[in-house]
Amino acid sequence: MNWNDMGPGMGFGMGFGWLFGLLCLALIVLIIAALIKYLRK
């Protein structure tokens, strides 16, 4: 296995992982904001 074979697949995997991580981060922020609103009631 060399980098030439792995290149495009790795790039796609990394990009997808980064997107997924960003989505998870946004979800966590929303959950925390909802919790703060709920606790402040």
Q: What is the pLDDT of residues 1-41, one digit of tens each?
A: 455 565 666 666 667 777 888 999 999 999 999 999 999 98
**pTM attached to this predicted model:** 0.56
- DSSP SS3 for 20: helix
Rounded alpha-carbon distances, angstroms, from residue 8 to 14, 17, 20: 10, 14, 18
The pLDDT score that the predictor gives to residue 8 is 61
Q: How many helices (H) and strands (E) does the chain have?
A: 1, 0
